[in-house]
Amino acid sequence: MSVNPMAYEAQFFGFTPQTCMLRVYIAFQDYLFEVMLVVETVILKKLEALPGCKITPFQVRKSTEEFLLFMKKHLDKLFSKMEEVLLQLVLNIPKNVLLPEDKVHEQYPYSKEQFQALQDEIQQLQKQYRAEASAGQALRAELEEQKVVQAELEKILQWFDGLENICREHGTGNFKESFAFLTQNAKRLQDVLKDVEEKSKKIKKPDQLL
């Protein structure tokens, strides 16, 4: 069998020429085996009809196998020559022939150097695309963070607006004055809480003595 892959022929036929030749060889070989079995059967029937014949079926089978080996050797030689002719003259596409799907290569020919340059350019574009995609992902994450910060700022502004409204309801219109008013009230609350804690401690001490 030929070791040439014949990839272009396989593209055209849909199968490799070597596969085709192998199947033809197997078909010939199977047919030869079947013919030899038929011949053996006929010989055995003829021998049974002969009176006083001393040839046994084992001898017939041995002779059949020897003849089969002889025929197979000749078949291999003949098939080898036939395979060579078929692969060169029938199942071979000439070097100057282009398949219809490959006509574009004839219209736009490229050398190995040009093809390699295109490959390098494609790889560079792929790297740029991945870098831009990564940068876009980082930008989207940053925008999400900005949305969260903006929402928190809006909450703070709403809180200040509510605080200012409360201060106005209590007669304090200026925000600075309102803030000072709240600070003073908070300090008073801390003083009251401290005073309550001290009185509570004094009350607990006599109880402990009892």
Q: What is the pLDDT of residues 52-65, one digit of tens each?
A: 778 888 898 999 99
Buried b / exposed e over 83-97, threshold 16 CB at 10 Å, is: beebbeeebeeeeee
pLDDT band of residue 128 (cuts 50, 70, 90) is very high
Read off the pTM: 0.47
Going from the C-alpha of 184 to that of each of 54, 59, 174, the distances in angstroms are 137, 129, 15
Residues 6+ apart with CB under 8 A from 10: 16, 17
For 64-119, write each residue's pLDDT tens digit.
Answer: 999 999 999 999 999 999 998 988 888 888 887 777 777 766 666 767 788 788 88
Torsion of CA 149, 155, 160, 166, to 10 degrees: -170
Q: Rounded to an integer, what distance in angstroms lies between the CA atom of residue 26 and that of residue 23?
A: 5
